Amino acid sequence: MIDEANATDRAAKVARSGDKLLPSLGIFLVTGGLLLLGWFAYLWFKLPPAPYQYQLIAEGDSKRFSEMDLDGWPELKLGQYKVQADGADKPIAEFIVARQNGGPPVLIYWKNSTNEILYNFDRKPSELSALAAAISKHAPKDALILSWWDTSRQIKLLTGHDTLFTSHLNEPLMIPVTWLEQSKAIQAYENQFWGSKGDPKEQEQFERFSQALAAPAEEGIKQLHELIGSNREAYVIVRY
């Protein structure tokens, strides 16, 4: 009888252990499944890298980059970059940015080394310094400057005038056709590099500005007045 009682007791303990083990095993399997699903979701939604990288070549002030014709702005910190594309032996472009007081980089020079339309248009460095000097001379300090987003950022950097656009909007996105499927990854990379926050209000204002430039003269001027929203003196700068 004692042996039977001991056997029954051991069987009960095993049963209770099994009762505890099964729920624990179930929780472990569910948790592992959720982790696995989370990992697959991360891989699914994670953007692939952009098909190129910006690589810093040199840094310095306006004296080091004398070819930029920025001697009148000794406080600027300049950086030269090359654009290295995946699979390319040589850089496909190079550019120079300027910073002031630790602010975000502003594109001041771009040189495309390919036959594709790529990101920006090549311009002579002297054009920018001449434009900034003309604005400083002829536009009142409290005037508002309206221009394309990249020119607006350059003008604000070099003259201190208020501009309607201050962010790196990256519109339109000018990339080779072969990169179109990677446009989201490219936009994310550009936003990160240039410190762009993608303000919806500024995006909407820029769309209205571009539409005004494309409209007939009388209608375009009316749209620009509506965009300014006041009687403030304003100047429209268009570069070709």
DSSP string, 159-193: H--EES--S----S----GGGGGGHHHHHHHHHHH
Q: Please state, in angstroms and rounded to a whole number, the distance separating the CA atoms of residues 226 and 205.
A: 11
Contact 159, 175 (CB under 8 A): no
Predicted confidence (pLDDT) per residue in 108-132, tens digit: 999 999 988 888 888 888 899 999 9
Q: Where are the domains of the chain?
A: 1-46
- Token reading at 191: 């936003």
- What is the average pLDDT score of the chain? 85
Predicted confidence (pLDDT) per residue in 133-192, tens digit: 999 999 999 999 999 999 999 999 999 999 999 999 988 888 999 999 999 999 999 999
Q: In Å, what is the CA distance from 7 to each residue of 4, 10, 12, 13, 117?
A: 5, 5, 9, 10, 85
Contact 151, 229 (CB under 8 A): no
3-state secondary structure of 199: coil
Contact 237, 136 (CB under 8 A): no
Q: Give residue for tokens 């990256």.
A: 170
Pure H helices in the chain: 2-45, 125-138, 149-159, 183-194, 200-214, 217-228
Q: Please state, in angstroms and rounded to a whole number, the distance separating the CA atoms of residues 56 and 60.
A: 12
Report residue 78: phi and psi, to 5°: -105, 150
- Token reading at 15: 């049963």
- Pairwise pLDDT comparison (88 vs 26), residue with the higher score: 88
- Which residues are registered as beta bridge partners of 235? 145
Q: Please state, in angstroms and rounded to a whole number, the distance separating the CA atoms of residues 203 and 169.
A: 7
pLDDT of residue 30: 52
Q: CB count, 10 Å around CB of 64?
A: 12
Predicted confidence (pLDDT) per residue in 67-92, tens digit: 999 999 999 999 999 999 999 999 99
Question: Is residue 172 reached through a cis peptide bond, with omega within 30 degrees of 0 on the bond before it?
Answer: yes
Residue 2 has pLDDT above 90, yes or no: no
